[in-house]
Structure 1
Amino acid sequence: MSKTFIIEAVMLAVHGQLMLPSKPVTYLIPYTTIQELYELHSSPEPIMLEQEDDGFVKQMIGELIAFFEESFNKKKIEKALSIPWGKSPPLPINEHVTLKIVYAIDNEAYGDQFDPIETELILTSIKEQAVLLTDQFDFIERLVEFAIPVEAFDVEDFEFAVEGDNQV
């Protein structure tokens, strides 16, 4: 059975290990984080500290954008965008990784403490009863501080999250 995680699209480009899990996983990705890929890809601002790493990550972002723009995948994504909280049919990446795009709606429920993308991640995690995966420790700290009812893991603990029985 596939383990489900809520994640930002850019994390798949930044953290290669997420594409090679030991067990099958499904990543639910809020659509706005796919839109963010275009901004990150064309921005002159570095994403990574090392120039070599930055070039590689921007290349991976370009590959993700190309994947999402493939005709068949684009049609699946557009299907999700027809209704609030719609989910795309599965978009298989490899034998262990499947993506689903969610048309998450930021209802400002957590707008005072979290930015719109963080709010969409939280709401998707709550709605889907799935673990939130992030590389932003301050985000996890705020989730705890404000007693947000989601389970979150740092990307460094990804294999533990995949192996463990830690569904919300």
Structure 2
Amino acid sequence: MKRRFVIEAVMLASYGELMQPSVPVEYVIPYSTIMELYEMRDSAEPVMVQPEDDAHVRGKIQELIAFFETPFNKIKLERALLAPWRMSPSLLVNDSVQIAVMYAVDSAQYGELFDPIETEIIMTSIREKVPVLTDQIEFMDKIINSDIPVQVFDVDDFEFALDLDLSMEDWGKL
């Protein structure tokens, strides 16, 4: 059984270990985070602090953009964009990783506490009943302190999250 996580697209470019998990994984990515890849690629602002790391991650961002722009994947993405909250068919990255893109729509439900991307991540997690994987400590703290009904894992705990074999009903019991 594959594990599923809601994640921002840039995290896949930033953390190479996410593309080589020990068990099969499907990442659910809100479409707006793919659009952020283009902004990051075109921005003069560094993505990473160290110049070598910045160059490496920018290269990975370009690779991810190219992956989404391949004709076969682009057609699958366009299907998701036909209606709000529609999910693309899975895009096969390698033997262990698949990506599904959700055409998430910002919701006023959490809009006062969270920015639009964070809101889309939360809403996607709730709709799909899968945990969030992030490296943003402040975001995790806001989710926990606001009693948002989602499970959230730090990217540093990725292997731990993979080892857990819990249903969504079990998430609430942790």
**1:125 deviation in Å?**
0.2
User: SS in structure 2 opposite 1:26?
Assistant: strand
User: Does residue 47 of structure 1 match 2:39?
Assistant: no
Matches for 1:122-133 after TM superposition, within 5 Å: 122-133=122-133
Q: Deviations over 1:111-151 (max 9, x none)?
A: 11100000000000000000100000110000011100000
User: Could you tell me which residue of structure 2 aligns to residue 148 of structure 1?
Assistant: 148
User: Structure 1 CA distance, aligned partners of 2:53 and 2:60?
Assistant: 10
State the alpha-carbon separation in 2 of the partners of residues 47 and 120 from structure 1: 22
**Gaps in structure 1 of 5+ consecutive residues:** none
2: distance between equivalents of 1:32 and 1:73? 16
- Cα displacement (A) at 1:167: 3.9
SS in 2 for 1:29: strand
Q: Using structure 1 for the length normalisation, give the TM-score.
A: 0.98
Does residue 59 of structure 1 match 2:54?
no
Q: Which string of whole-angstrom CA distances, capped at 9 and with x for unpartnered residues, describes residues 18-45 of structure 1?
A: 0010000000000000000000011110
Correspondence 1:159 to 2:159: yes
Q: How does 1:3-152 map to 2 (within 5 A)?
A: 3-152=3-152
After the TM superposition, list the runs of 4 or more consecutive aligned residues in structure 1 that deviate by more than 2 angstroms.
none
Shift of 1:86: 0.6
**Shift of the alpha carbon at 1:163?**
1.1
- Judged with a 3 Å threshold, the aligned counterparts in structure 2 of structure 1 residues 154 and 167 are, in CA distance, closer, same or farther, namely farther
Question: TM-score, normalised on structure 2?
Answer: 0.95
Residues 108, 116 of structure 1: 8 Å contact kept: no
**Which amino acid is 2:19 matched to?**
M
Tell me if structure 2 keeps the 8 A contact 1:4–1:131.
yes
Aligned residue-pair number: 168
State the 1:107 CA deviation.
1.5
What is the CA–CA distance in structure 1 between the aligned matches of 2:83 and 2:48, rounded to whole Å?
A: 35
Residue ranges of structure 2 left out of the alignment (5+ in a row): 169-174
Q: Distance in 2 between matches of 1:42 and 1:11?
A: 17
Determine what percentage of the aligned residue pairs are the same residue.
54
CA distance change for structure 1 residues 116 and 138 in 2, over 3 Å: closer, same or farther? same
In the alignment, is the contact (CA less than 8 A) between 1:27 and 1:100 conserved in 2?
yes
Partner AA of 2:53 in structure 1: D
Amino acid at match of 2:33: T
